A and B are shown apart, each in its own frame.
Chain A
Amino acid sequence: MSSEQEAESIRCLVAKVGLDGHDRGAHVIARAFRDAGFEVIYSGLHKAPDEIVQAAVQEDVDVLGISILSGAHDTLVPKIMDGLEEYGAKEDTLVLAGGVIPDEDREGLEEAGVSAIFGPGTSIEETIEFVRENVPQR
């Protein structure tokens, strides 16, 4: 048991929400985060916003990455953000979105509290670096 493994580890929830069965991207991110030394909880497919909130609160994650390819982000993401707020978890959770999100929707999601949006073509390294630099200090 090395002392590094005792040290604080970045905890992430990789979440698939709503009617969207495509999780290859979520798997790739989960694996890449693991290899970066993060502790990754994967939500599984077809979760309701409430379920994501419950998992994020109970697991006390530093980072919530939401993957949406269904186009329903404008409905689902604000519901998740409201839920986090209800449990006092909105302020110190770094929320990221990934998947297919049109440029014109980005501003709205950022206003709702999403810190960054990583669309197709984003490199894994870029995402990991962003998490490391922006993980909330608690």
Chain B
Amino acid sequence: MSVDPDDRALLEALLAGEHRALARTISKIENRSPGYRDLVSELYAHTGSADVIGITGSPGAGKSTLVDKLAEAYRDRGETVGIIAIDPSSPFTGGAVLGDRIRMASTVGDMDVFVRSMSARGTLGGLSTATADAVKAMDAFGKDKIIIETVGAGQNEIDIVRTADTVAVLVPPGSGDDIQTLKAGILEIADIFVVNKADRDGADRTVQELREMIHLGDGSDPAGGGGHHSQEIIDAHDDWDGEPVETVAIHGTGVDEFIDELAAHRDYLVDSGEHADQVRTRYAEEIRTLLREDVHSMLEEELAAAGGIDGLAEAVRNGETDPYTIASDVLEPVEDCLEDLDTDTHVNSR
């Protein structure tokens, strides 16, 4: 791939440690600007040294505050930090108010903490499509720790598991009874549970319930739900049993214990060889996503050639045809091409 000269200059400035170049690169990634793919592809050669930590949990659980204290503690230990904080975008206007930065005041004035707010831009799942690439940019920039704070999650926003090495799920005290801990979804993806606001009533009980849940998973072979695309990653979590960590993020209580637990999980990943699997799965997903994007844009062109989606929808509304017929008609030229291609390769390989 060839990178255009402006992007080459941008890349060099980023690698030289210019903050604005990093900021600009992330914007290009977010906007899917022309040439961003070549740029990201160049970044890969410089990545792989950062620890990527995901923080998720319900709205108001204290994610931003904990991230802030975590960043401060890492800075005290002399490590550089990149933070990507994602907030939801409006399904109506696409607009967003990104408010996580307000809580991140402990490290303000320290440019070695690079905070970037991102809108989910319509993506469900707790991350934005650009998040993984933005992590690459921060990694190449030389950040030691990259912390991703997801959209305030419900029960099923689990995309973070595909991007972060270690996922911490924040569970506020009094998040329901022990049946909640049996449910599928967000609680399954945690490498580390953090009971934040641990000075509140009910914290002990929440810790106890989480501990029971973790140990309930031991020994008994999970039925292996299958079909879910991140099932491999979820299953791979089975050998690791982290104890829940109690924090009071606003006072910085428990942050050191949390950091120790993060480090322990990191060691576990490397020693068990799981990290390699994790990275392999992640790249497989990235390849699939890119291919899907490409095929998607090819199909958009086919759709435009077939008279645009609005016209086709109107035809269905008038009872002239149906969505299934249209889908196979639109796809037909593409399939023909692929068949030709198959025949060609067969001929060539003979």
A30 an interface residue at 8 Å Cβ cutoff? yes
State in angstroms the CA–CA spacing of A2 and B122 once bound together. 7
A60 proximity list for chain B (CB < 8 A): 20, 23-24, 26-27
Known: A34-B97, A42-B102, A50-B109. A1 touches B24 (CB 8 A): no
The distance in angstroms between the C-alpha atoms of A57 and B114, with both chains bound, is: 10
Question: What residues of chain A lie closer than 8 Å to B116, measured between beta carbons?
Answer: 58-59
Contacts of B115 in A (CB 8 A): 55, 58-59
Q: Which chain A residues lie closer than 8 Å to B101 at the CB level?
A: 41-44, 55, 59
- B residues 87-131 in Cβ contact with A at 8 Å: 89-90, 93-99, 101-102, 105, 108-109, 111, 114-117, 119, 121-123, 129
Contact of B94 with A9 in the complex, beta carbons under 8 Å = yes
Asked whether A39 and B95 contact (CB < 8 A) given A8-B31, A59-B117, the answer is yes
CA distance A39 to B95 in the complex (A): 5
Contacts of A5 in B (CB 8 A): 89, 94, 121-122
B123: chain A residues within 8 A (beta carbon)? 1
Q: Which residues of B contact A34 (CB under 8 A)?
A: 90, 93, 95-97
Closest CB of chain A to B134's CB: distance in Å? 11
CB-nearest residue of chain B relative to A45? B102
Kindly state the separation between the CA atoms of A58 and B25 in the bound complex, as whole angstroms: 11
Chain B residue contacts of A38, Cβ below 8 A: 95
What's the dominant secondary structure at chain B's contact region? mixed
Cα(A42)–Cα(B108), bound, Å: 15
Q: Nearest Cβ distance between residue B137 and chain A, in whole angstroms?
A: 12
Interface centre among B31, B32, B89, B94 (most CB of A within 10 A): B94
Q: Which residues does chain A contribute within 8 Å of B95, judged by CB atoms?
A: 9, 33-40
Query: C-beta contact mask, B20-39 vs A, less than 8 Å → 1, else 0?
Result: 10011011001111000000
- Indicate if the CB atoms of B97 and A7 lie closer than 8 Å: no
B211 within 8 A of A: no
Q: In the complex the two chains form, is A54's CB within 8 Å of B108's CB?
A: yes
Q: Mark A4-15, 1 if CB is under 8 A from B, else 0.
A: 111111010000
A103 to B32, CA, bound (A): 42
Whether a CB of chain A sits under 8 angstroms from the CB of B19 is: yes
Residue of B nearest to A14 (CB): B97
Chain A, Cβ-Cβ closest to B120: A5
Binary interface profile of B, 125-152, with partner A (CB < 8 Å = 1, else 0)?
Answer: 0000100000000000000000000000
Known contacts A41-B97, A55-B101; 12 additional CB pairs below 8 A are: A4-B94, A5-B94, A9-B121, A30-B97, A37-B94, A38-B95, A40-B98, A43-B102, A48-B109, A58-B23, A59-B101, A60-B26
What are the 5 closest A-B residue pairs judged by CB atoms, nearest first? A5-B122, A60-B23, A44-B102, A34-B95, A37-B93
Chain B positions within 8 Å of A, measured between CB atoms, are 19-20, 23-24, 26-27, 30-33, 89-90, 93-99, 101-102, 105, 108-109, 111, 114-117, 119, 121-123, 129, 300
A: residues with CB less than 8 A from B are 1-9, 11, 30-31, 33-44, 48, 50-51, 54-55, 57-60, 87-89
Q: Can you list 28 contacts pairing A with B, beta carbon distance less than 8 Å?
A: A1-B121, A5-B94, A6-B32, A6-B121, A6-B122, A8-B33, A9-B31, A9-B95, A9-B119, A31-B97, A34-B95, A34-B97, A37-B90, A37-B94, A39-B89, A41-B98, A43-B101, A43-B102, A44-B102, A48-B109, A57-B19, A57-B20, A58-B116, A59-B117, A60-B23, A87-B19, A88-B20, A89-B20
